[in-house]
Structure 1
Amino acid sequence: MSPRLVLLGPPASGKGTQGRRLAEELGLSYIGTGALLRSAVEEGTELGKQAEPILARGEYLPDSLMWPIMADWLEHQQGGWVLDGFPRSVAQADFLDAWLAARELRLDAAIALEVPPDELLIRVSNRLECPECRWSGRPEDLNGAGRCPDCGGVAVPRADDTPSNFRSRLAEYQENTLPVVLRYEQAGLLHRFDATPDPGVVAKRLLDLVKSLISHGQAA
């Protein structure tokens, strides 16, 4: 099983949590562009220096920065993968289509995680992230010592998780990424998915969905 999947959804819809779980369950590669960029900022890399002021405004990185990052990552993958945070725009979807077509590959499915805006805002105000391994979750998900359940690091609120940044990111999602959702829907690749329940419930249902797609030949 080596499907190539895209996870779409507004900020705090659970793309990072569910993308990592899904990739681990299916033995796929995973990239979360948001976590990758936050690591670059914290490490002070050249990419991080360029990304920091953009992320601080609650905006997405321009294509001129994202395309080289994704091209390099994709080139190093041997099997299937889960993309979280890419494509965020029609231009990025065009880039991904062209990259796949040049290698006689195809995208198997795009899954849109759907959560009401009020619930998203609650999640943002309650979200923690581990700077060591990029685990993301809620305070109640921490281990018995109050640390990251994956690596034991100290999970903290994300610096960009402010109400104003959330509203900015949500507006950008609605303007730039919803057209991508519609594009994949018109292509017959989209699967809308209710991501409102508890993360564990969502993870099981999402895994069942992808396994069903694989068994019916919609994802190979």
Structure 2
Amino acid sequence: MAKRFVLLGPPASGKGTQGRRLADQLGLAYLSTGALLRSAVEEGSGLGMEAAPILERHEYLPDALMCSIMGEWLAGQTGGWVLDGFPRSLVQAEFLSEWLADRDQKLDAAILLEVPEEVLLQRIRLRVECPECRWSGRRPELNGAGRCPECGGVAGPRADDTVAGFQSRFKEYRAHTLPVVAHYEARDVLKRFDAAQDPDGAEERLLKLVRTSHGQAA
């Protein structure tokens, strides 16, 4: 049976790293809405031009636009998935619930990655992303000359990875996404995960959490 997960958490909590790893381990599709939007901006597409000024202000895209983008992506999936960056508001969470219900599908878990704010700031300073394949990680993970370990592209800091950018996005997260956390907790699908520890060891712990929550052997 196809499994469906969403990853929630503040900026730099590790959603991209852990989302890709979880999807790989379980054979699921993976989508980072942030990476998708940044690619659109770099390509100069219609979506990119609409999104660019909003992203420059470190704000979330309007719910109507994000739901439209996600509805199109979800409709193209034939199996399970892991979503990183959606839903980020109650409107988006309700859209996803209705989309799944209309197709007799369900969300298996909303996983909240919890990391103290001071740790998030430390990660921001080390975080890099590859513009070619959208791999993201830490500077020490790069292969010589700042090369991406996945495709060999030249990786570097994201444009929004500044202290001011982080503070703005963290404020947006608290205002819009914390209510989503409460929404899923009330529906008994929220799984809290300590993501402040070593991200490499987190992969095994997260997989264990997911399997245990579904009655599978860890």
Does TM, normalized by the shorter one, top 0.5? yes
| 1:149 and 2:141 correspond | no
Structure 2 counterparts to residues 51-130 of structure 1, below 5 A: 51-130=51-130
- Taking the aligned partners of 2:68 and 2:199, their CA distance within structure 1 comes to 32
The aligned counterpart of 1:7 is 7
Structure 2 counterparts to residues 129-144 of structure 1, below 5 A: 129-144=129-144
Q: Alpha-carbon deviations, 1:46-73, whole Å to 9, x = none?
A: 1000111110111010112101110000
8 Å Cα contact 2:15/2:84 also seen in 1: yes
Task: State how many pairs are aligned.
Answer: 217
- Taking the aligned partners of 1:124 and 1:41, their CA distance within structure 2 comes to 21
- Taking the aligned partners of 1:17 and 1:190, their CA distance within structure 2 comes to 19
- Taking the aligned partners of 1:152 and 1:159, their CA distance within structure 2 comes to 20
Q: CA RMSD in A?
A: 1.3
- Taking the aligned partners of 2:82 and 2:135, their CA distance within structure 1 comes to 16
8 Å Cα contact 2:112/2:193 also seen in 1: yes
The aligned counterpart of 1:199 is 199
- Taking the aligned partners of 2:181 and 2:103, their CA distance within structure 1 comes to 24
After the TM superposition, which parts of structure 1 deviate over 6 Å for at least 4 consecutive aligned residues?
none
- Taking the aligned partners of 1:13 and 1:53, their CA distance within structure 2 comes to 24
For residue 160 of structure 1, what is the amino acid of its counterpart? Answer: D
Give ranges in structure 1 of 5+ residues lacking alignment: none
- What TM-score, normalized by structure 1, do the two folds share? 0.96
How far the C-alpha of 1:182 sits from its partner, in A, is 0.8
Q: What SS does the aligned partner of 1:137 have?
A: strand
For residue 117 of structure 1, what is the amino acid of its counterpart? Answer: E
8 Å Cα contact 2:9/2:15 also seen in 1: yes
Q: Alpha-carbon deviations, 1:61-120, whole Å to 9, x = none?
A: 011210111000000111111010000000000100110011011111000000000110
The aligned counterpart of 1:180 is 180
- Taking the aligned partners of 2:56 and 2:144, their CA distance within structure 1 comes to 32
Q: Alpha-carbon deviations, 1:122-148, whole Å to 9, x = none?
A: 111211000001110111011245311
Taking every aligned residue pair, what percent have the same amino acid on both sides?
Answer: 65
The aligned counterpart of 1:31 is 31
